[in-house]
Structure 1
Amino acid sequence: MILFGGRLSPFVRRVAISLTLQGRYFERQIVNVLQSDFGGITDANPLGRVPVLRLDDGMDLIETSAIIDYLDQTAAEGKRLFPADGLSRIAHLQIAGYANGVAEKGVALVYEAIRRPPEFQWPDWRARLSQQITAGLDHLETLATSAEWLANDYPRGAIIAMVCAHDFIATAHPALVQQPRPVLAALSAKANALPAFAASYPVMA
């Protein structure tokens, strides 16, 4: 399998970690979607978005949640990232949904505050995005206090999503993580002690 995406994207990282923890062999192909040709990714995804996971049979999967659902549906025994069904599955998917929301607002703020020329930036919009990210991180801090860490000796899918969101914001918007969130910070530190997390820590281009 081939995973297409950049080194900063929290969504690409989430898929990479999930693949690694499930023991699946894959290759990374670094793609910069900010290039005029979207880094050549439009052959795999006409929208020019990552992540894209190319399966061994050549099929291209898009959208983080759909990719991870595929990984869970085809996982080896004991390698699922989320509970198979029931209220527990819904609860874990909701946590991952909040984490994805934080990451999405963080990506929007990257485009607004870092990629957009200063003369075209809208301070009120930047403030709104920052407010949403802060509120989202505060909620993740609450959720993290009761998060179940392990699924067969490795982090559950909801934990992966929370850590990827937290670490992305810490890298791209460090001012927004200056407010103490000790539970979330400890969760990130514990996860990043594992090779799958450490090897994929986000890097600003």
Structure 2
Amino acid sequence: MDPMYVVLSIGGLILGFVIAWLLQKKRRNDQLEAQREQAAQNHKRLCSQITTLQSQCQDAKEVQNRLLLERDQWIAEKETLEQEIAERKRMVQELTEQLFDFETRFKAQEEASRLQPKSLGHMALKKVSGMVENLQQRVLQQMSDMDLFPSETAEAKKEKSAYAPEDQGPIFPKEDPFARAPKAATKPDPENEVEVISPVAAPNPPAASTTDDSKNEESPAPPAS
């Protein structure tokens, strides 16, 4: 064989191995570059995720602090409400005791008023009414005894009697202004009944005659004191 051919064949084989090695190395480098780029992208994504997680962690800490503050406020409000509830329970207990005491006293007073229908207030009012009636009768008696118009002439008396009846009646009403409305008829209690003493009626003065009128007509009016 030609040695040149052998040398070329060996050189071709070596060159083929070199080219194949270079191609394999380039392909490997490309794969490594692709992996490096993917790793860089993964790193960036992880960094962004870490940043997001840090911000979320910060927000979570703020939320946690706010929740802790709200919990403290709720605890304080709960304690305040418990104190108010205890205070109101105490007030309700006191009011219940007062109500029970009031009901007991009311029932006792009702029983006493049922056993003794005429109380001291009723008796005092009846006594005052009797005193007022007695005073009215005295005033009417004094006014009927004294001459209120001494200088009045007979003609004026006749004119006055023409417009008014002879019996003018008392000036004050007979009704007792302090008397209560009429109640149902009850059996009188002789123990609590108050006796009203009326004054002795004085005899009415004799009616003035015509001669007295003439005398009054002629006599001058008494001087004013």
**TM-score, L = length of structure 1:** 0.24
More strand as a share of residues = 1
**TM-score, L = length of structure 2:** 0.22
More helix as a share of residues = 2
